[in-house]
Amino acid sequence: MPNQPEKPLEQVVTETGRYPVGAFLFVQECLGVAADKVHGPMSPEERAVAQWVAHHALNPEELRARWDKGDLPPDIRRTIDQIGGPQRLNRHISGQQLCWAIRDVALERWGLMARGVLARWNITRTEDIGAIIFALVDNGWLQKQPTDSITDFHGVFSFDEAFDQAYRIEES
């Protein structure tokens, strides 16, 4: 059975009890940014297939099995073949890649206030990012690879160094 969110995001937030909904939404937004940085932006064809896959709630293994059996609509099969197979749709990123993308997006968006904004959401260490991600995984909002672990988020960087000492105002 495909993974479906088991409960509304607001319930996940309430049960997690430490991070507000804004923190969850920001981390989810940064997943896409990180995937684009690592894998490049999706082509319109990849986006169309990804939307079809999401609509049918298929996980990567199910998509691969249906592709192997020839059990996909002809236009979806043709598009997957053109982009290089179902593995090209795997836009997995590591915990470390996500942490750095969150840092970059926060600095771009909020500059010197980035650390303060994240702190208002109780995100003060990279481990907090992992806690949010794994709350989403545990409740069917995200999928993980067998090699993914909460420890992937441990000590990726120091918030002192990443936000306060590393921020530079670009001169025009």
pLDDT at 166: 57
Please identify every stretch of the chain with a pLDDT value under 50, giving residue numbers as ranges.
1-2
Residue found under tokens 């500059």: 111
pLDDT at 136: 95
**pTM (global) more than 0.85:** no
Q: Are 42 and 50 in contact (CB under 8 A)?
A: yes
Distance CA 6, CA 56 (A): 16
